[in-house]
A and B are shown apart, each in its own frame.
Chain A
């Protein structure tokens, strides 16, 4: 009997050792069960809201369709649990700004809008969400820097949004093409991208797919390039520093890359074009989130198998920084006056974070949490990124995203997003500048000088209005 007991103890000990030494086995590989706590830090909520409480949310149609299906179910479940009538409107991401703008002008609209890029230009029409952010930080730890720099305006000392998630924007390459070009693990630097991209283009006629079109992917790539070359639009104190040798070098690089390894299609793209081109096998490298890869896994498995991911490419000085692809930021316009509606909205945002492992899982690992602690399954050793539950081959294909936070910047980098930075982004000044140089209409120096002057004017206006620091 003693022998049996001792054997059982040994077995339990061995199992425990195994679980400790192989965290993959011990990691909670499923999303946590849904929960709706009544308290987050200093914010307390009722178990049930008064009858008749309503909550309307307008947000984008997610690039991963299964997320919307989950979210709509979740919102209804949350509504039932909290006695709130929830309505969710999904709209095209390109219509978010104009929808929010119309709602603020009319003083009427949804309770919450989920923006996909920082919306500081709307700050005068938005309610401060300082309490929600403080409650989330108390309950879940520090906000990820990408999110914090995209929802807080230091000069007003105001959290104008609540950023619950963000999306990494890795480099994506066709493994077979780049292997033949001598880069079996894809490009690691911008120099590799040029040399390897030219080789692939000359050998297979397949161009590099980084755009110069007035759309988000091009704007994001251009910022990544400029940052990695050591330049930026503004410094940490909202001073314009665009006209610099680093930015000129980045523009020269882009023009060279276009002439040697791209075609005029890069001027014509919309947000979906480089994904489509990559999946169709007509582009060798793009910078994009993993949504296209998830689509490819379903419709074109051979392309998905031949897709590799790279972290931020290193510039001449070794710096690597890429933008986030999406910033999931809830804002509440000032016209929302009903106390119960406001409280319900705040609880909805905080509950979503509390249940973020479900959001990340149901976005097929597209949405990364603003509060890393809420989704330990994602980056744990042996977790979802190491062993993709959505069928990557090999299973650790997405491991490269584990340290994405280290190489991800935000729109106002190295400072905070502000109305001026947002306007520069929305008016597509950088993609236009790159395209003018690539087409030979301006020299890099002229184009940078002219764009810097335009940026200065925009900054000057917002600075006078009191929305920028420095001066």
Chain B
């Protein structure tokens, strides 16, 4: 019937929809334009700036000065402190995320009362405007007016006779360890919804029979977790953590809002140091050089994340 129709009617013209090659480029086009315009151009510009003598007063590239800005960057002790802090804060954030995202996905994979409320609470940080979140965290961690300190004083953990000594405040952002812990906490608070959703999706895709079999064999919670859940979740958990690593390592907002690098240089991180030098300090080319030191780490993590994502898709 079709053959007949084909033979009797005019020959069908091959449209755009039939040309897979052209259609592919057409569909990819907007994404390529976006990436080229908003990622590629700024990236090339940053590389050129880092080899130039541009300043905020004259941000044009008139002259290339070779590796001068890179040499100057690594000669600064604060650069190394910032690099170390960036790596340390990222590591601690990922560690906390791995534990919490796995625990939450285990929790959310089971039926329980108020599950929807818990789900909503977990997603809430995403729905919260950044400015509001910043105000809330600054208030919670304030050196004088922190409600957490007030609470700890009420339950006699702080203050005269308290477990943590006679002082009335913890000074969360004024002590090196607590300041780093505060930044990690806020990072985790921001990243946990994404990580939990990714891991939960992986958790839900583990065949139910595996858990039933383990239950019949008498395996306890931790045995099931360590032998079934975590090995099965590993690819997707790794992808979630690598994406979180990209976001944390290249982020300056948390530090800028909470500590601005203090106390001293204890929480200085590379992106914020680059901003201070390049924009506020006026040394645009120097700031670009500092920022580009993040490239190897970010590129390595990005490649690893994409490979893993691709591999887990294949399997």
Contact = CB atoms under 8 A, between A and B. Distances in A.
Interface of A: 97-98, 100-101, 104-105, 121-126, 212-215, 263-270, 273, 276-277, 280, 282, 419, 422-423, 426-429, 431-432, 435-436, 439, 441, 450, 454, 457-458, 461, 465
A432 B264 contact: yes
B76 to A, nearest CB: 6
B210 to A, nearest CB: 50
Contact of A280 (B144, B263, B276, B283): B144
A125 B276 contact: no
Nearest to A451: B77
9 contacts: A97-B279, A125-B58, A212-B264, A213-B263, A263-B174, A268-B262, A423-B277, A423-B282, A439-B176
Contacts of B144: 265, 273, 276-277, 280, 282
A276 B138 CA distance: 14
Contact of B264 (A126, A267, A427): A267
Given A123-B57, A125-B56, A454-B76, A268 B280 contact: no
Contact of B262 (A100, A214, A454): A214
A197 B256 CA distance: 31
Given A122-B57, A439-B176, A450-B77, A419 B262 contact: no
Contact of B171 (A214, A265, A277): A265
Given A121-B57, A122-B57, A419-B55, A427 B276 contact: yes
A104 B59 contact: yes
Main secondary structure of the interface of B (DSSP, over half): loop
Main secondary structure of the interface of A (DSSP, over half): helix
Contacts of B262: 213-214, 267-268, 431-432, 435
Given A124-B58, A265-B174, A432-B265, A422 B260 contact: no
A465 B68 CA distance: 13
B57 A268 contact: no
B260 A213 contact: yes
Contacts of B259: 268
Contact of A454 (B78, B172, B268): B78
Contact of A268 (B77, B263, B282, B286): B263
A470 B313 CA distance: 64
B260 A428 contact: yes
A427 B56 contact: no
B264 A268 contact: no
A126 B56 CA distance: 11
A266 B176 CA distance: 13
B283 A435 contact: no
Contacts of B53: 465
Nearest to A450: B77
B282 A267 contact: no
Interface in B244-281: 259-265, 268, 276-277, 279-281
B203 interface: no
Contacts of A98: 279-280
A465 B262 CA distance: 31
A266 B174 contact: yes
B28 interface: no
Interface of B: 53, 55-59, 72, 75-78, 143-145, 167, 169, 171-176, 179, 259-265, 268, 276-277, 279-283, 286
Given A264-B143, A439-B176, A427 B263 contact: no
Given A122-B56, A126-B57, A450-B77, A439 B143 contact: no
A273 B169 CA distance: 15
A224 B179 CA distance: 28
A419 B282 CA distance: 8
A55 B196 CA distance: 51
Nearest to A266: B174
A125 B263 contact: no
B176 A422 contact: no
A392 B167 CA distance: 35
A98 to B, nearest CB: 5
Contacts of B55: 121, 124, 419, 465
B264 A439 contact: yes
A423 B281 contact: yes
The 4 residue pairs across chains A and B that have the minimum distance between CB atoms? A121-B282, A264-B174, A267-B263, A124-B57
B46 to A, nearest CB: 13
A282 B144 CA distance: 8
Given A97-B279, A214-B260, A268-B263, A121 B175 contact: no
Contacts of A122: 56-57, 282
B174 A432 contact: no
B56 A435 contact: no
Nearest to A423: B281
A427 B143 contact: no
A265 B282 contact: no
Contacts of A273: 143-144
Contacts of A100: 56
B281 A121 contact: yes
A121 B260 contact: no
A101 B143 contact: no
Most buried by A among B59, B72, B179, B264: B264
A458 B280 CA distance: 14
Given A101-B56, A427-B277, 9 more contacts: A104-B56, A104-B58, A122-B57, A266-B174, A419-B282, A423-B281, A439-B264, A450-B77, A457-B76
B79 to A, nearest CB: 10
A454 B268 CA distance: 16
A374 to B, nearest CB: 30
B174 A422 contact: no
A105 B59 contact: yes
A122 B282 CA distance: 7
B281 A426 contact: yes
Contacts of A267: 171, 173-174, 262-264
Nearest to A460: B72
Nearest to B260: A214
Contacts of A419: 55, 282
Given A124-B58, A436-B264, A426 B282 contact: yes
Contacts of B59: 101, 104-105, 125
A418 to B, nearest CB: 11
A407 B265 CA distance: 31
A263 B173 CA distance: 12
A432 B176 CA distance: 13
Most buried by B among A97, A98, A270, A461: A461
Nearest to B280: A426
B57 A457 contact: no
Contacts of A465: 53, 55
Contacts of A427: 78, 276-277, 280-281
A426 B283 CA distance: 11
Contacts of A435: 262-265
A287 to B, nearest CB: 18
Given A213-B262, A268-B174, A454-B76, A461 B286 contact: yes
A320 to B, nearest CB: 28
B286 A432 contact: no
